[in-house]
Amino acid sequence: MTEAPHKPSFSVRLRNNFLTGLIICAPITITIWLTWTLIQWADSWVRPLIPLQYRPEHYIKFAVPGFGLLMAVIVITIIGFLAKNFIGKAIFDFGASILDRTPLVRSLYKALKQIFETVLREKTDSFKKVGMIEYPSPGLWSLVFVATDARGEIASRFDEKGMQMTLVFLPPTPVPTAGFLIFVETKKIMELDMATEDAAKLLISGGLVSPDWSPKKIPTPPSISAA
C-alpha cells in the first residue's frame, strides 16, 4: 500500500505563492518605476526650456508626461541630421574647436566624446561578445564582456613581449554596471555564443536565470558514392 503524497503545510504554500507573485510583479514594477523616473527626469530638464505657448498644458490645462523627452529626442535627431551636411558640419566643428581650446573643459569634452563615439558607433563590436576567463585564480572562471583589442602604447608594450591582449569588462553580481577593465591574453579568453542580454540576466539573477542553449549542429558533407 503506497503512502499518500505529503502535502505542504499552509505556511509553505503561502510562502511559495508569495514568491511566485514577487517574481511576476517585481520586474514589472521596477521596469515601470525606472521608465517613469527617466521620463520625469527628462521632462524636468527640457520642459523649462520650452516656451509656455508650445507646451500642451497651455491648451489642455494639464501636463503631458513625456513631452519633454519627446522634444529632446526630436531636437537631438535634427542636430544629427544637420551635422551630416557641409554647413552644419562646419558649424559644429567650429564649436568643437572652441571647446578644444578651453582649459579644463577640453579634457572633459574629449573624454566624453571618445566614450560616446566608442559606445554608439554602429559598426563596433565592443561589448557584443561574451566570454570566460580564469579569474580570480586558475580553475575559477568568471563571465566577462569582450570590449576591444589593446591599442596604442599598451598594445605596443605587450607586442614587445610577444603578447596579444584583449580588453575585457569583468562585471560583478548583481550590479553588472560596475566592474573592472582587465587586459587578458586573447588566447586565454573562452568566447561564448551567449548574447550580452542573456549574460546580463545571468549576472543580475546571481546565476538563477540561465539562458537556453542548444549546441550548433555541424552539417555533415554529402557522401560521394563510387561510380
- pLDDT per position as a tens digit, 132-181: 999 888 889 999 999 888 888 888 999 998 999 998 998 888 776 678 88
Paired residues of 170 in beta bridges: 180
Residues of the chain with pLDDT under 70: 1-6, 58, 61-62, 115-127, 176-177, 216-227
Q: Which three cell numbers stand for residue 136?
A: 580570480
- What is the C-alpha to C-alpha distance for residues 170 and 21, in angstroms, rounded to an integer? 32
SS3 at position 145: strand
- What pLDDT, on a 0 to 100 scale, did the predictor assign at position 218? 57
Of 171, 177, 174, the closest CA to residue 135 belongs to 171
Alpha helices, DSSP H only, in 9-125? 10-46, 57-60, 67-82, 86-101, 105-120
CA 189, CA 165: separation in Å to the nearest integer? 10
Would you say the pTM of this structure is higher than 0.75? no
| Cα separation, 210 vs 141, whole angstroms | 16
Backbone angles phi, psi at 166, to 5 degrees: -130, 140
Cell of 218: 555541424
Q: What is the pLDDT of residue 174?
A: 75
